[in-house]
Amino acid sequence: MRFRNVLSSLRRLSFSQMASRVEVSRLMHPDDANLGGNVHGGTILQLIEQAGWISATRHCNTLRNAQSTSPVTTGLARLEHVDFLRPMHIGNVALVHASVSYASAHSLMVSVHVESEDVMRARKETTNRATLWYVAFPLEATREGVWKAAPVPPVPELSDEEERHGREMYLMQKQDRETPPHRDMDFDASEMTRMNAKQYSVSYSVSSLSHGVSPSDCVSSDGPAQGGVLMKLMDTVAGMVAFRHARTSVVTASIDAINFYKPTFRGEVVTVSGRLIFTSERSMIIQVAVISENLVTGGKKMTTNAYFTFVSLDRETRRPVPVPQLVLETEDERRRHAAAEARYKAAKARRGKSAA
């Protein structure tokens, strides 16, 4: 409903607001498929973040004020909870629409709407709605390694309702981002862990991958890795966990809010690890953590963490099917399972109220 309100207000946007609007389209090729044959959820996340970055950076530089005379770049600070409403298929065209909908003193809220277009049948369907938060940095300062937030121009001509909603969202995400990452996110996801694991246990499906951050992963040689690159890696690992547990086709259903605590730079190595923490009858919640390592100094840092929900699909009908229940072996596993179950039930109750 809120996104429809944003879309309905486009008719009265000023030129300065229109400048932040972005429309990205891309044909989905076979190399965009996940292990189950659908379009990789991480590919959609990467497109969402690319459109969001363009929108946020355009806004800052189009409306640059006297406080910020140098060009400005932006970095992803947070992706709000996002649902994958429908799968996107190979051969469809992804249509991504983004625009800045609110700005605080140093951050921007970007609203993104994703459609899947079947050009053969002339049909479009909404697949995702997302909200992203970006922080602005002077481009010259980032080249010197100084990551001090730059002032952000306000969004002109917002209604009182849009201003109030944006402020509420800003305060909520700010409070959540100030909560430190979970201490139990550094876990063993090696193949050795899986060698003698009991079937359907947590250790049975743990997965990880390491990735060296290259120039192609960054907007510029001086900037950090794009948030979309990291989110695609996270979705890849979460999908490996879900696939190993269910042994059938799996798709991303939703992602809890993702906070980016520290930037990752070219030349660093990110290790993305995932483990299953909860199963319902037809869905799985996977905990994913990203650790960045500076190969020169040996220093490591927690970059981000998130919870991905996957569903298992029948290979022929593509309809949801039951998943094997998770075997819990330790008190920590039971604690994480109970916490995830509480979140799962709360989310299910919210969806029920929204549908009503």
- For the chain, list the domains and their CATH numbers: 2-177 (3.10.129.10), 183-355 (3.10.129.10)
Residues 312 and 253: their CA atoms lie apart, in Å, by: 10
- Do 242 and 38 form a contact (C-beta atoms < 8 A)? no
pLDDT tens digits for range 103-143: 999 999 999 999 999 999 999 999 999 999 999 988 776 55
Q: Is 235 a catalytic residue?
A: yes
pLDDT tens-digit map of 143-173: 545 678 888 989 988 899 999 999 999 999 9
Q: Is 184 a catalytic residue?
A: no
pLDDT tens digits, 304-347? 999 999 999 888 887 889 999 999 999 999 999 999 999 888 88
Which tokens sit at 3? 């996104």
From the list 235, 256, 259, 305, the catalytic residue is 235
Q: Give the CA distances from residue 304 to residues 148, 178, 219, in Å, rounded to whole numbers and listed in that order.
A: 20, 13, 19
Tell me what pLDDT residue 29 has.
Answer: 94
pLDDT band at 185 (very low <50, low <70, confident <90, very high): low
- Which tens digit of pLDDT belongs to each residue from 255-270? 999 999 988 989 999 9
| Token reading at 337 | 């399972």
- Among candidate residues 32, 34, 38, 92, the one labeled active-site is 34
Q: Mean pLDDT lowest for which of 84-88, 157-161, 285-289, 349-353?
A: 349-353
Tokens standing for residue 96: 């991504």
